[in-house]
């Protein structure tokens, strides 16, 4: 309810900054999937109009509403045709890993910008946006690497598990969304925040 709290307390600029940062981070994340799908030889994402930087093409209506209400949501999944990927086994994992990889790159770019900003800009809208964008990209990268469908980590898990262990993937495919929703409201808020904060500080140290 953090986002609603910002509106209740009249912190409109903070609300707008966070929403814009989330929307941009998710759109670029989904574009990363589409670009990887194209590089893997599959035109499905491109033909669906997803090989674009236009955020409106990547936003899921329900996921966007949740972003505004609770600060947690998701983008519209990028379609792909596994049989058309160059690598039958690892192609889907490459496409899945591309989204978090884009978020990691964006986090380092944001960190590099942040440490080089004039100290006089601390607390300004631009400084707050870049700072929030850094944190949210770290958060998205970590969150999406969890091996729970429909998160990207599930595709990576499917690629690295031997055939004898694929029943784990089948189980997660059946119950993953329920597990993810329960985790999102009961567990993840208490875990992801501190981890993402520590990771963001690490990024800043690495680019300093």
Residues classed as catalytic: 30
- 22, burial (CB in 10 Å: exposed 0-12, middle 13-18, buried 19+): buried
Region for 81 from its dihedrals, namely left if φ exceeds 0, alpha if ψ lies in -120 to 50, beta otherwise = beta
Locate 85 and state its tokens.
């990927």
Under 8 Å between Cβ of 75 and 62 = no
DSSP letter string over 50-100? -SS--GGGTB-HHHHHHHHHHS---BPPPP--GGGSSSTTTHHHHHHHHHH
């Amino acid at each position: 309810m953090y986002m609603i709290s910002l509106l209740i307390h009249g912190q409109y600029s903070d609300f707008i900054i966070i929403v814009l940062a989330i929307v941009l981070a998710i759109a670029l994340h989904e574009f990363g999937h589409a670009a990887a799908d194209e590089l893997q030889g599959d035109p499905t994402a491109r033909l669906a109009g997803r090989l674009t930087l236009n955020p409106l093409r990547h936003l899921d209506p329900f996921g966007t509403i949740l972003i505004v209400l609770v600060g947690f949501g998701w983008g519209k999944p990028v379609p792909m045709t596994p049989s058309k990927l160059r690598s039958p086994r690892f192609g889907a994992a490459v496409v899945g890993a591309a989204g978090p990889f884009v978020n990691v790159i964006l986090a380092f770019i944001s960190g590099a910008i942040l440490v080089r900003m004039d100290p006089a800009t601390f607390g300004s809208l631009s400084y707050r946006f870049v700072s929030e964008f850094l944190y949210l990209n770290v958060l998205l990268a970590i969150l999406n690497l969890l091996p729970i469908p429909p998160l990207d980590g599930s595709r990576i898990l499917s690629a690295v598990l031997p055939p004898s262990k694929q029943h784990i993937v089948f189980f997660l495919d059946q119950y993953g969304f329920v597990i993810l929703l329960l985790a999102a409201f009961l567990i993840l808020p208490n875990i992801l925040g501190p981890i993402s904060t520590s990771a963001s500080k690490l990024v800043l140290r690495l680019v300093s």
